[in-house]
Chains A and B, each alone.
Chain A
Amino acid sequence: MSDTTVVILPSPLPARPAPPGGFRAAPIPTRRILPGFGLTLGYTVFYLGLIVLLPLSAAFIKTAHLTGAQFVAAVWNPFAIASYQLSFGASFAAAAADTVFGLLVAWVLVRYDFPGRRLFDAMVDLPFALPTAVAGIALTALYNDHGWLGKLLAPMGIAVAYTPLGVFVALTFISLPFVVRTLQPVLEQLEPELEEAAAILGATRRQVFRRVLFPVILPALLTGFALSFARALGEYGSVVFISGNRPLATQITPELIYEEIGEHRIPQATAIAVVMLAASFVILLAVNLLQRWARSRTGEGSAQN
């Protein structure tokens, strides 16, 4: 790839047909025509380095000062292990729930018409737009013993607020839009011909969904799951209110890091943060690979944007 010399970006518009008379497109120029490359690249790298990379590297450099034993003591003690179990477990469960409900919601919003569809479509963005602290106190008010939903669940012996279940509910709330918003464009772009062909060949609706639709939307579904999982793993604001923050029981890892900072145990907090960052980067990598896979499956055209 002659990356350095390519100037004209691939346009998503279909190539113009050559005019009669054998006109050929101008050869790709060997230097950048559009001015401002050096300036914008320079500022982008400078600002990125100053705001993001330098502070993030501080976490890794600070941790590198710890001895191996200190690091292990900080990241692998009963409190930390309990917090990982809750954080990863609840985030995984929340992302799974979001995948199921997100598929249902996206499907209904794209495929069916019903009164209030646009309103509900808009509401899906609420967890993105609503500050996490507001979500936290609202969910706690809803699910505590006197809350509208908590009151109904209490006689059944189900406690949500101040239990791991509450953590799950908060994480499901805040990461719901990822699956819906990842799936919607894919469902909208599905070609009806695929389903028609399957139907004409005698497939039942269930077979069409399982054998034709599901494989096409699977990459988007997995991407949505991974994005939900990553978001849930780092979440703090909404969980801190509903979890009760009890060490060994309802404390998630970000809450543990916060507590360590509060007790001026900065090196320990940083060591746990590095573990979390590593986990996040692995998920980010997985998302990138998933998207590449999705692009290769759906062809360049539809996924190019």
Chain B
Amino acid sequence: MAAISSTLSQRSRASAPGRRAMAESPWVRRLLIGAALTFLILFLILPLAVVFVEAFSKGIEVYANALIDPDTWAAIKLTLLIAAIAVPLNTFFGVTAAWCIAKYKFPGRSILLTLVDLPFAVSPVISGLIYVLIFGRQGWLGDWLFDPRYPAPHWIGFAHGWWPLTFDWGPHDSIAVIFAVPGIVLATVFVTFPFVARELIPLMEAQGNDEEYAALTLGANGWQTFWRVTLPNIKWGLFYGVILCNARAMGEFGAVSVVSGHIRGQTNTLPLHIELLYQSPGTYAGAFACASLLSLLALITMVLKNFIEWRHGRAGRELA
């Protein structure tokens, strides 16, 4: 017995820095913090800083001129328009898909869940290409879109009402869907497809159905249950998904680049406009001026995201 207790005390003396095994020594800790912060500053903060420094490198006048340029304005308006179409579509889908996947169990549920995530696994360039395969000249619908005997959709925007497409008879050129706004909308919808659904599904799974059952028992119908019980419970997660979806919709480059046609002032979104300015002689600072706008969007997105996390915990995680 004495032997045992003596080994025990030896043991505890051996690890007497007992604390040592539970935490790193102060200098290791400082070294690790220093290394991590150096990495984050070099890798994340410097690229962000260089955008603003380059944007103002030729003075505030060049910066302002780049932003009030009509082509820049057209690009900003198009980017806002694309987001205003794509984000609501995917938000509606996200809520519907989350209701179906999180609230019920059914065969094929996990396959459906994987398929919803699929667009994240597809390269942006391929996301654009697949729409060329359908709507391009050699695509599935190409014969119909480019045959003068049939009407083809033509984008007129929202200036004339809520429906932005007309159907034209007679000869039409190649810019019906691909190289026009509808193609950009479709590609953007594809790349931002999973954002809202993926944010809501874990959250709604964690919340369970108890409150909905209670509402139904008390006589609410399905709609009332959704609007008065489910929606208030998921509103922050929903908002979180929407801002991430919006950031990607406004910033998407690869997929949009394939289907846009890069027509200045017409089918150039802000990220494409940045590329154009960056590659044209003499507009280097202008490219960074436009990039600073998208960087501000990214910063606002991150502030909102952190605000939600601070108020309500990381969506889904802390509820569980």
Chain A: residues with CB nearer than 8 A to chain B?
A: 3-4, 6-9, 11-13, 32-37, 40-41, 43-45, 47-48, 51-56, 58-59, 62, 101, 104-105, 107-109, 112, 114, 118, 120, 122-135, 137-139, 141-142, 147-149, 172-173, 176, 185, 192, 195-196, 198-205, 207-208, 230, 233-237, 241, 254-255, 257-258, 261, 266, 269-270, 273, 276-277, 280-281, 283-284, 288, 304-305
CA distance A132 to B24 in the complex (A): 38
B60 within 8 A of A: no
Closest 3 CB pairs of A and B: A131-B251, A234-B123, A199-B21
| Shortest distance between the CB of B182 and any CB in chain A (Å) | 13
Given the contacts A34-B103, A40-B97, A126 and B298 also touching, CB distance less than 8 Å: yes
Can you pick out 16 interface pairs between chain A and chain B where the beta carbons lie within 8 Å of each other? A4-B106, A36-B226, A44-B101, A51-B189, A54-B134, A112-B33, A129-B301, A137-B287, A192-B22, A199-B22, A205-B24, A241-B275, A258-B254, A273-B129, A280-B123, A304-B320
B311 within 8 A of A: no
Tell me which residues across on chain A come within 8 A of B46, comparing CB atoms: 142, 148-149
Given the contacts A37-B104, A114-B33, A124-B40, A234 and B124 also touching, CB distance less than 8 Å: yes
* Contact present for B138 and A51 (CB under 8 Å): no
B312 within 8 A of A: no
* Contact present for B122 and A234 (CB under 8 Å): yes
| Shortest distance between the CB of A243 and any CB in chain B (Å) | 13
B115 within 8 A of A: yes
| Shortest distance between the CB of A87 and any CB in chain B (Å) | 10
Given the contacts A40-B100, A131-B253, A105 and B40 also touching, CB distance less than 8 Å: yes
B99 within 8 A of A: yes
CA distance A44 to B250 in the complex (A): 24
Tell me which residues across on chain B come within 8 A of A137, comparing CB atoms: 51, 274, 278, 287-288, 291
Tell me which residues across on chain A come within 8 A of B306, comparing CB atoms: 118, 122
Interface size for chain B: under 10, 10 to 19, 20 to 34, or 35 or more residues? 35 or more
Interface centre among B21, B209, B225, B226 (most CB of A within 10 A): B21
How many residue pairs, one in A and one in B, have C-beta atoms under 8 Å apart? 327
| Shortest distance between the CB of B127 and any CB in chain A (Å) | 8
* Contact present for A131 and B271 (CB under 8 Å): yes
* Contact present for A134 and B105 (CB under 8 Å): no
Tell me the interface secondary structure of chain A in the complex. Answer: helix
CA distance A36 to B302 in the complex (A): 34
* Contact present for A59 and B129 (CB under 8 Å): yes
Complex partner residue of B18 from A34, A118, A132, A199, CB under 8 angstroms:
A199
* Contact present for A142 and B50 (CB under 8 Å): yes
Since A34-B209, A133-B253 are in contact, a sample of 7 more A-B pairs with Cβ atoms closer than 8 Å, ordered by chain A residue number, is A9-B103, A9-B104, A52-B190, A134-B271, A141-B288, A173-B47, A176-B43
B149 within 8 A of A: no
CA distance A263 to B226 in the complex (A): 50
CA distance A48 to B94 in the complex (A): 11
Tell me which residues across on chain B come within 8 A of A6, comparing CB atoms: 105
* Contact present for B134 and A131 (CB under 8 Å): no
Complex partner residue of B43 from A52, A112, A172, A208, CB under 8 angstroms:
A172
CA distance A32 to B105 in the complex (A): 10
| Shortest distance between the CB of B33 and any CB in chain A (Å) | 5
CA distance A4 to B104 in the complex (A): 9
* Contact present for A204 and B32 (CB under 8 Å): no
| Shortest distance between the CB of B107 and any CB in chain A (Å) | 5
B119 within 8 A of A: yes
* Contact present for A8 and B209 (CB under 8 Å): yes
Tell me which residues across on chain A come within 8 A of B47, comparing CB atoms: 130, 135, 138-139, 142, 173
Segment 297-313 of B: residues with Cβ below 8 Å from A: 297-299, 301-303, 305-306
* Contact present for A37 and B131 (CB under 8 Å): no
Given the contacts A198-B21, A273-B126, A305-B317, A9 and B205 also touching, CB distance less than 8 Å: yes
Chain B: residues with CB nearer than 8 A to chain A?
A: 11-12, 14-15, 18, 20-24, 29, 32-33, 35-37, 39-40, 42-48, 50-51, 54, 93, 96-97, 99-107, 109, 112, 114-119, 121-126, 128-134, 136, 138-140, 186, 189-190, 193, 202, 205-206, 208-210, 212-213, 216, 221-222, 225-226, 244, 247, 250-254, 257-258, 271-272, 274-275, 278, 287-288, 291, 294-295, 297-299, 301-303, 305-306, 314, 316-317, 319-320
* Contact present for B123 and A55 (CB under 8 Å): no
Tell me which residues across on chain B come within 8 A of A56, comparing CB atoms: 118, 122, 130
* Contact present for B32 and A104 (CB under 8 Å): yes
Tell me which residues across on chain A come within 8 A of B114, comparing CB atoms: 284, 288
Tell me which residues across on chain A come within 8 A of B294, comparing CB atoms: 130-131, 133-134
| Shortest distance between the CB of B98 and any CB in chain A (Å) | 9
| Shortest distance between the CB of A166 and any CB in chain B (Å) | 13
Complex partner residue of B271 from A105, A237, A277, A284, CB under 8 angstroms:
A237
Residue on B nearest A230 in the bound complex, by CB: B121
Interface centre among B133, B244, B295 (most CB of A within 10 A): B133
* Contact present for A149 and B250 (CB under 8 Å): no
Given the contacts A104-B36, A236-B124, A9 and B209 also touching, CB distance less than 8 Å: yes
CA distance A9 to B202 in the complex (A): 13
* Contact present for B138 and A266 (CB under 8 Å): yes
CA distance A258 to B275 in the complex (A): 15
Residue on A nearest B277 in the bound complex, by CB: A137
Interface centre among B105, B189, B244 (most CB of A within 10 A): B105
